[in-house]
Amino acid sequence: MSKYLPLWPDSASTMSGQVDALYIYLLLVAGVMTTLIFIAVTVLAIKYRRKPGVEAHQIEGSTILEITWSIIPFGIMLTFFIWGAVIYFQERTPPADSTEVYVVAKQWMWKIEHMEGQREINELHVPTGQDVKLIMTSQDVIHSFFVPAFRIKQDVLPGRYTTLWFKATKPGVYHLFCAEYCGTMHSGMGGSIVVMEPQEYAQWMAGSSSPPLQETGQQVFSSLGCSTCHRTDVQGRGPNLTGIYNKPVLLEDGRTVVADENYVRESILNPTAKIVSGFKPVMPTFQGIVSEEQLNALVAYVKSLSQPPSPGTAGLQGQPSAPPGQPTNAQVQ
Protein backbone atom coordinates (compact mmCIF):
# COMPACT_ATOMS: atom_id res chain seq x y z
CA MET A 1 0.00 0.00 0.00
CA SER A 2 2.82 2.42 0.88
CA LYS A 3 4.25 1.93 -2.61
CA TYR A 4 1.14 3.42 -4.23
CA LEU A 5 0.10 5.78 -1.42
CA PRO A 6 3.28 6.83 0.42
CA LEU A 7 2.87 8.77 3.63
CA TRP A 8 6.29 10.38 3.26
CA PRO A 9 8.55 11.27 0.34
CA ASP A 10 11.84 9.40 -0.10
CA SER A 11 14.31 9.99 2.71
CA ALA A 12 17.78 10.50 1.24
CA SER A 13 19.75 12.93 3.41
CA THR A 14 21.19 13.05 6.90
CA MET A 15 18.66 15.71 7.97
CA SER A 16 15.51 14.11 6.57
CA GLY A 17 15.09 11.69 9.48
CA GLN A 18 15.24 14.52 12.04
CA VAL A 19 12.69 16.59 10.11
CA ASP A 20 10.37 13.58 9.80
CA ALA A 21 10.68 12.85 13.52
CA LEU A 22 9.72 16.43 14.38
CA TYR A 23 6.66 16.29 12.11
CA ILE A 24 5.58 12.94 13.57
CA TYR A 25 5.93 14.45 17.05
CA LEU A 26 3.82 17.45 16.01
CA LEU A 27 1.11 15.16 14.61
CA LEU A 28 1.09 12.96 17.73
CA VAL A 29 0.84 15.89 20.13
CA ALA A 30 -1.86 17.52 18.00
CA GLY A 31 -3.76 14.22 17.88
CA VAL A 32 -3.53 13.67 21.64
CA MET A 33 -4.54 17.27 22.41
CA THR A 34 -7.50 17.09 20.00
CA THR A 35 -8.65 13.78 21.52
CA LEU A 36 -8.43 15.12 25.08
CA ILE A 37 -10.40 18.23 24.14
CA PHE A 38 -13.15 16.21 22.45
CA ILE A 39 -13.35 13.84 25.43
CA ALA A 40 -13.58 16.77 27.84
CA VAL A 41 -16.26 18.50 25.77
CA THR A 42 -18.29 15.28 25.52
CA VAL A 43 -18.02 14.39 29.22
CA LEU A 44 -18.81 17.90 30.43
CA ALA A 45 -21.71 18.27 28.00
CA ILE A 46 -23.28 15.07 29.33
CA LYS A 47 -22.53 15.67 33.01
CA TYR A 48 -23.64 19.26 33.12
CA ARG A 49 -26.47 19.11 30.61
CA ARG A 50 -29.69 20.88 31.49
CA LYS A 51 -31.98 18.58 33.53
CA PRO A 52 -35.75 19.06 33.99
CA GLY A 53 -36.65 20.26 37.46
CA VAL A 54 -33.05 20.96 38.47
CA GLU A 55 -32.11 24.60 38.98
CA ALA A 56 -28.75 25.66 37.50
CA HIS A 57 -26.18 27.11 39.86
CA GLN A 58 -22.94 29.02 39.33
CA ILE A 59 -19.67 27.05 39.37
CA GLU A 60 -16.66 29.08 40.46
CA GLY A 61 -13.36 28.69 38.59
CA SER A 62 -10.27 27.00 40.00
CA THR A 63 -7.05 28.99 39.93
CA ILE A 64 -4.95 25.82 40.30
CA LEU A 65 -6.77 24.17 37.39
CA GLU A 66 -6.37 27.24 35.17
CA ILE A 67 -2.64 27.52 35.95
CA THR A 68 -2.18 23.80 35.29
CA TRP A 69 -3.86 23.78 31.88
CA SER A 70 -1.91 26.87 30.90
CA ILE A 71 1.59 25.83 32.03
CA ILE A 72 1.54 22.18 30.86
CA PRO A 73 0.42 22.93 27.27
CA PHE A 74 2.88 25.86 27.16
CA GLY A 75 5.73 23.53 28.13
CA ILE A 76 4.69 21.00 25.51
CA MET A 77 4.46 23.67 22.79
CA LEU A 78 7.86 25.01 23.83
CA THR A 79 9.39 21.67 22.86
CA PHE A 80 8.24 22.37 19.28
CA PHE A 81 10.26 25.56 19.25
CA ILE A 82 13.37 24.06 20.83
CA TRP A 83 13.45 21.00 18.57
CA GLY A 84 12.69 23.10 15.48
CA ALA A 85 15.38 25.64 16.38
CA VAL A 86 18.00 22.88 16.75
CA ILE A 87 17.14 21.52 13.29
CA TYR A 88 17.07 25.03 11.82
CA PHE A 89 20.57 25.88 13.03
CA GLN A 90 21.89 22.52 11.87
CA GLU A 91 20.42 23.07 8.41
CA ARG A 92 21.79 26.62 8.23
CA THR A 93 25.34 25.82 9.38
CA PRO A 94 27.25 23.98 6.64
CA PRO A 95 30.36 22.06 7.69
CA ALA A 96 33.64 23.85 6.97
CA ASP A 97 34.83 21.20 4.52
CA SER A 98 31.67 21.21 2.40
CA THR A 99 31.96 20.94 -1.38
CA GLU A 100 30.70 24.24 -2.80
CA VAL A 101 28.36 24.47 -5.78
CA TYR A 102 27.04 27.72 -7.28
CA VAL A 103 23.40 27.86 -8.36
CA VAL A 104 21.85 30.57 -10.57
CA ALA A 105 18.06 30.53 -10.82
CA LYS A 106 16.27 32.21 -13.72
CA GLN A 107 12.91 31.98 -15.41
CA TRP A 108 12.59 29.05 -15.72
CA MET A 109 15.66 26.91 -15.09
CA TRP A 110 18.41 26.09 -12.62
CA LYS A 111 21.99 26.71 -13.79
CA ILE A 112 24.59 24.77 -11.79
CA GLU A 113 28.35 25.46 -11.61
CA HIS A 114 30.70 23.11 -9.79
CA MET A 115 34.00 24.41 -8.44
CA GLU A 116 35.79 21.91 -10.68
CA GLY A 117 34.27 23.59 -13.74
CA GLN A 118 31.45 21.19 -14.57
CA ARG A 119 28.23 22.94 -15.56
CA GLU A 120 24.68 21.63 -15.57
CA ILE A 121 21.15 22.84 -16.28
CA ASN A 122 18.25 21.52 -14.20
CA GLU A 123 20.46 18.74 -12.86
CA LEU A 124 22.86 18.51 -9.95
CA HIS A 125 25.18 15.53 -9.62
CA VAL A 126 26.51 14.87 -6.11
CA PRO A 127 28.19 11.92 -4.37
CA THR A 128 26.85 10.09 -1.33
CA GLY A 129 28.45 10.87 2.01
CA GLN A 130 29.74 14.31 1.00
CA ASP A 131 28.62 17.60 2.54
CA VAL A 132 27.47 19.89 -0.29
CA LYS A 133 27.01 23.63 0.19
CA LEU A 134 24.87 25.47 -2.37
CA ILE A 135 25.62 29.16 -2.92
CA MET A 136 22.55 30.46 -4.72
CA THR A 137 21.33 33.64 -6.37
CA SER A 138 18.56 34.60 -8.79
CA GLN A 139 18.96 36.33 -12.12
CA ASP A 140 15.44 37.81 -12.10
CA VAL A 141 12.74 37.13 -9.47
CA ILE A 142 12.48 35.20 -6.20
CA HIS A 143 12.71 31.43 -6.63
CA SER A 144 12.89 28.66 -4.02
CA PHE A 145 15.16 25.60 -4.13
CA PHE A 146 13.16 22.65 -2.77
CA VAL A 147 14.20 18.98 -2.62
CA PRO A 148 11.51 16.98 -0.76
CA ALA A 149 13.68 13.85 -0.42
CA PHE A 150 16.31 15.91 1.44
CA ARG A 151 13.72 17.93 3.44
CA ILE A 152 15.44 21.17 2.46
CA LYS A 153 14.06 24.39 1.01
CA GLN A 154 15.64 27.82 0.65
CA ASP A 155 14.51 31.00 -1.12
CA VAL A 156 16.82 32.14 -3.91
CA LEU A 157 16.90 35.93 -4.09
CA PRO A 158 18.02 38.40 -6.75
CA GLY A 159 20.93 40.65 -5.78
CA ARG A 160 22.40 38.48 -3.04
CA TYR A 161 23.52 34.97 -2.12
CA THR A 162 21.62 32.53 0.05
CA THR A 163 23.11 29.21 1.13
CA LEU A 164 21.87 25.71 1.79
CA TRP A 165 23.63 22.43 2.51
CA PHE A 166 22.90 18.71 2.60
CA LYS A 167 24.57 15.31 2.72
CA ALA A 168 22.95 12.71 0.47
CA THR A 169 22.78 9.17 1.85
CA LYS A 170 21.23 7.04 -0.94
CA PRO A 171 22.06 6.87 -4.65
CA GLY A 172 19.15 7.76 -6.88
CA VAL A 173 17.43 10.55 -8.77
CA TYR A 174 15.38 12.97 -6.67
CA HIS A 175 13.04 15.74 -7.74
CA LEU A 176 14.04 19.40 -7.52
CA PHE A 177 11.24 21.95 -7.45
CA CYS A 178 10.85 25.71 -7.40
CA ALA A 179 8.60 26.30 -4.39
CA GLU A 180 8.01 30.03 -4.99
CA TYR A 181 5.60 31.25 -7.68
CA CYS A 182 7.94 32.87 -10.20
CA GLY A 183 5.87 33.42 -13.33
CA THR A 184 3.74 31.68 -15.91
CA MET A 185 6.10 28.69 -16.27
CA HIS A 186 6.62 28.23 -12.53
CA SER A 187 5.17 24.71 -12.57
CA GLY A 188 7.72 23.67 -15.19
CA MET A 189 10.75 24.94 -13.27
CA GLY A 190 11.93 21.61 -11.99
CA GLY A 191 14.97 19.42 -12.16
CA SER A 192 16.77 16.47 -10.64
CA ILE A 193 19.35 15.79 -7.98
CA VAL A 194 21.40 12.82 -9.15
CA VAL A 195 23.07 11.11 -6.20
CA MET A 196 25.92 8.79 -7.17
CA GLU A 197 28.42 6.53 -5.47
CA PRO A 198 31.75 8.36 -4.91
CA GLN A 199 33.63 6.34 -7.54
CA GLU A 200 30.89 6.85 -10.13
CA TYR A 201 30.76 10.54 -9.29
CA ALA A 202 34.53 10.89 -9.73
CA GLN A 203 34.27 9.32 -13.18
CA TRP A 204 31.43 11.66 -14.11
CA MET A 205 33.37 14.69 -12.86
CA ALA A 206 36.48 13.63 -14.81
CA GLY A 207 34.52 13.97 -18.05
CA SER A 208 34.48 17.76 -17.79
CA SER A 209 36.86 19.76 -19.97
CA SER A 210 36.01 23.15 -18.41
CA PRO A 211 38.61 24.87 -16.21
CA PRO A 212 37.97 25.17 -12.47
CA LEU A 213 35.68 28.02 -11.49
CA GLN A 214 38.43 29.94 -9.71
CA GLU A 215 40.59 29.85 -12.87
CA THR A 216 37.69 31.25 -14.87
CA GLY A 217 37.39 33.95 -12.22
CA GLN A 218 41.09 34.76 -12.49
CA GLN A 219 40.70 35.20 -16.26
CA VAL A 220 37.72 37.53 -15.75
CA PHE A 221 39.67 39.37 -13.04
CA SER A 222 42.54 40.01 -15.47
CA SER A 223 40.35 40.85 -18.47
CA LEU A 224 38.50 43.54 -16.48
CA GLY A 225 41.79 45.13 -15.41
CA CYS A 226 41.20 44.44 -11.72
CA SER A 227 44.82 43.37 -11.18
CA THR A 228 46.11 46.87 -12.02
CA CYS A 229 44.55 48.27 -8.83
CA HIS A 230 44.39 45.20 -6.61
CA ARG A 231 48.10 44.54 -6.45
CA THR A 232 50.00 42.44 -3.96
CA ASP A 233 52.08 45.38 -2.75
CA VAL A 234 51.20 48.72 -1.15
CA GLN A 235 51.25 50.58 -4.47
CA GLY A 236 47.77 49.54 -5.60
CA ARG A 237 44.86 51.97 -5.65
CA GLY A 238 42.73 49.18 -4.29
CA PRO A 239 43.41 46.82 -1.39
CA ASN A 240 45.30 43.58 -1.63
CA LEU A 241 42.75 40.76 -1.87
CA THR A 242 44.98 37.97 -0.63
CA GLY A 243 43.58 36.38 2.49
CA ILE A 244 40.56 38.66 2.91
CA TYR A 245 37.78 36.09 2.57
CA ASN A 246 35.83 35.49 5.79
CA LYS A 247 38.04 37.99 7.64
CA PRO A 248 36.88 41.21 9.36
CA VAL A 249 37.29 44.37 7.28
CA LEU A 250 37.54 47.86 8.78
CA LEU A 251 35.47 50.43 6.89
CA GLU A 252 35.97 54.16 6.48
CA ASP A 253 32.96 54.91 8.71
CA GLY A 254 34.43 52.88 11.57
CA ARG A 255 32.28 49.79 11.13
CA THR A 256 33.72 46.31 10.78
CA VAL A 257 32.18 43.74 8.43
CA VAL A 258 33.08 40.18 7.48
CA ALA A 259 34.22 39.64 3.89
CA ASP A 260 31.83 36.79 3.01
CA GLU A 261 30.33 35.94 -0.40
CA ASN A 262 27.71 38.69 -0.19
CA TYR A 263 30.31 41.28 0.79
CA VAL A 264 32.53 40.38 -2.20
CA ARG A 265 29.50 40.38 -4.51
CA GLU A 266 28.32 43.79 -3.28
CA SER A 267 31.81 45.24 -3.58
CA ILE A 268 31.92 44.26 -7.27
CA LEU A 269 28.45 45.53 -8.16
CA ASN A 270 28.21 48.49 -5.77
CA PRO A 271 31.79 49.35 -4.72
CA THR A 272 30.86 52.60 -2.95
CA ALA A 273 28.46 50.86 -0.54
CA LYS A 274 31.23 49.94 1.91
CA ILE A 275 34.51 51.86 1.59
CA VAL A 276 37.52 50.30 3.28
CA SER A 277 39.49 52.45 5.69
CA GLY A 278 42.50 54.03 3.98
CA PHE A 279 41.17 53.78 0.41
CA LYS A 280 39.19 56.13 -1.82
CA PRO A 281 35.96 55.24 -3.69
CA VAL A 282 37.61 55.11 -7.12
CA MET A 283 36.41 51.70 -8.31
CA PRO A 284 33.68 51.76 -11.03
CA THR A 285 30.63 49.56 -10.73
CA PHE A 286 30.44 46.35 -12.74
CA GLN A 287 26.67 46.17 -12.51
CA GLY A 288 25.39 45.09 -15.92
CA ILE A 289 28.92 44.38 -17.14
CA VAL A 290 29.50 40.97 -15.59
CA SER A 291 26.96 38.15 -15.78
CA GLU A 292 25.85 36.12 -12.78
CA GLU A 293 28.12 33.29 -13.92
CA GLN A 294 31.12 35.65 -14.19
CA LEU A 295 30.25 37.09 -10.80
CA ASN A 296 30.25 33.61 -9.29
CA ALA A 297 33.64 32.96 -10.86
CA LEU A 298 35.05 36.22 -9.47
CA VAL A 299 33.77 35.40 -5.99
CA ALA A 300 35.27 31.91 -6.24
CA TYR A 301 38.61 33.43 -7.30
CA VAL A 302 38.71 35.90 -4.42
CA LYS A 303 37.89 33.06 -2.03
CA SER A 304 40.73 30.98 -3.50
CA LEU A 305 43.20 33.73 -2.56
CA SER A 306 42.57 32.84 1.07
CA GLN A 307 43.43 29.18 0.54
CA PRO A 308 46.97 27.74 0.76
CA PRO A 309 48.41 27.65 -2.79
CA SER A 310 48.82 24.18 -4.24
CA PRO A 311 51.91 23.27 -6.30
CA GLY A 312 51.65 24.47 -9.88
CA THR A 313 48.65 26.70 -9.17
CA ALA A 314 48.97 30.30 -10.24
CA GLY A 315 47.49 33.02 -8.10
CA LEU A 316 48.15 36.24 -6.29
CA GLN A 317 50.74 36.01 -3.60
CA GLY A 318 50.48 38.89 -1.19
CA GLN A 319 51.04 40.26 2.20
CA PRO A 320 50.14 38.12 5.21
CA SER A 321 46.63 38.53 6.52
CA ALA A 322 45.87 40.15 9.85
CA PRO A 323 45.95 38.02 13.00
CA PRO A 324 42.69 36.24 13.85
CA GLY A 325 40.06 38.67 15.06
CA GLN A 326 41.87 41.74 13.73
CA PRO A 327 40.34 43.74 10.82
CA THR A 328 42.28 43.90 7.58
CA ASN A 329 42.25 46.84 5.15
CA ALA A 330 41.08 44.88 2.17
CA GLN A 331 38.07 45.09 -0.08
CA VAL A 332 37.08 44.34 -3.65
CA GLN A 333 36.87 47.96 -4.73
Strand, helix or coil for residue 115: coil
DSSP 148: G
- Residue 118's domain comprises 1-50+57-210
In a domain, residue 317? The reply is no
Report the 10 Å Cβ neighbour count for 318. 19
* Same domain membership, residue 231 and residue 201: no
- Output helix, strand, coil percentages for the chain, rounded to the nearest 5: 35, 20, 45
**Helix (H) or strand (E) run with residue 83 in it:** helix 63-91
* Same domain membership, residue 241 and residue 205: no
Parallel, antiparallel or unpaired: strands 123-127 and 190-196: parallel
* Same domain membership, residue 164 and residue 284: no
The pLDDT mean for the chain works out to: 87
- Cα distances from 317 to residues 99, 212, 235, 264, in angstroms, run 24, 19, 15, 19
The whole-number pLDDT of residue 322 equals: 41
Backbone angles phi, psi at 240, to 5 degrees: -75, 130
User: Per-residue confidence of the chain (333 residues) as pLDDT tens digits?
Assistant: 446 667 778 899 999 999 999 999 999 999 999 999 999 999 988 888 877 777 777 777 788 988 998 999 899 999 999 999 999 999 999 998 999 999 999 999 999 999 999 999 999 999 999 999 999 999 999 999 999 999 999 999 999 999 999 999 999 999 999 999 999 999 999 999 999 999 999 999 988 778 999 999 999 999 998 888 888 776 778 888 888 899 999 998 889 999 999 999 999 999 989 888 888 888 889 988 999 999 999 999 999 998 765 444 333 333 333 433 444 444 445
* Same domain membership, residue 125 and residue 256: no
* Same domain membership, residue 198 and residue 82: yes
The whole-number pLDDT of residue 47 equals: 84
DSSP 186: G
